[in-house]
Amino acid sequence: MEKPLLQVKNIWKAYDELQVLKGVSFDVEEGEVKVIFGPSGSGKSTLLRCINMLTPPDKGTVILQGTNLMDSDTNLNMIRSKIGMVFQHFNLFLHLKAIDNVSLGPRRVLGLSKDEATERALDALIQVKMEKWADHYPAQLSGGQQQRVGIARALVMNPVLILFDEPTSALDPELIGEVLQVMLDIAKSGTTMVVVTHEMGFARAVATEMIFIDEGVIVEKGTPRHFAISPETERAKQFLHRLEVLYGHHEELLEPEDKEEGNS
């Protein structure tokens, strides 16, 4: 069998005396969609930032396509151009039009000419159905539209892996669907994704595996169906119950027959 695209091995990270990650390990195969979920403050964002070395771990290794990112001679700029990142709060440049937000990476990092970069950026905007808004500034766009530009900015680099950090949690409920639809399309095109999200409908549709993290450790792993029907740990059960209370209105996790099984 081929080696996993990404190997996360025994990652530890502290901020001063606060130990945030306590030995997190998992693999991501090419084409996988890994969903990470867990309570606020459990270390999910820190984990994503350790994967692309925005926050280097204190201990452990991250191996992408056979390259150990912890090696001091690894070119992190080159690595980061292969790992897309989509943030909760979009992080667009407010003084740049959508198209210029997206073409910036190809120009600065890949060294493409303005015309080449703009052409590629337009392709990426088409993928997220935002080409009509190319000449708008972020302030002229809804949150859902801004996040789709954020996704285009990741796609345009043609990354081998895209990390999503709660991409819909800052959005009004009516704007979540358009962003999830774009993410579903990307997942179905075979892009490898690690997605921190509590959108269980999305997880149900495309997650190959879900990882429940609490207090800096992986508490439980399993398929969406596993977490829907038979989560094993008390912590996962309680957290999923809290999610259901919060997000129950657009809950698509359970098929009717599963619900009966789960209740029995």
Ligand X SMILES: Nc1ncnc2c1ncn2[C@@H]1O[C@H](COP(=O)(O)OP(=O)(O)O)[C@@H](O)[C@H]1O
Strands 209-214 and 59-64: unpaired
Answer for which of 15, 66, 245, 263 binds ligand X (CB under 6 A) is 15
Question: Where does this chain touch Mg ion (CB under 5 A) — which range of 39-47, 54-62, 128-136, 256-264?
Answer: 39-47
| Residue 68, token pair as written in the block | 């150990």
| Residue 249, token pair as written in the block | 């209105």
Window 206-245: residues binding ligand X (CB under 6 A): none
20 near ligand X (CB under 6 A): yes
Q: Which is nearer to ligand X, 44 or 148 (CB)?
A: 44
- Distance of closest approach, residue 18 Cβ to ligand X, in angstroms: 6
* Strand, coil or helix: 232: coil
Please provide residue 145's backbone torsions phi and psi, each rounded to the nearest 5 degrees.
Answer: -70, -40
Answer for which of 42, 45, 101, 168 binds Mg ion (CB under 5 A) is 45
Residues 133, 130: Cα–Cα separation, whole Å: 5
Answer positive or negative: Cα dihedral of 184, 255, 258, 232.
positive
Q: Which is nearer to ligand X, 37 or 133 (CB)?
A: 37
Picked from ligand X, Mg ion, none, the partner binding residue 146 (CB below 5 to 8 A depending on kind) is none
40 near ligand X (CB under 6 A): yes
Query: How far is the first Cα of the chain from the last one, in angstroms, to the nearest whole number?
Result: 39
Binding site for ligand X (CB under 6 A): 15, 18, 20, 40-46
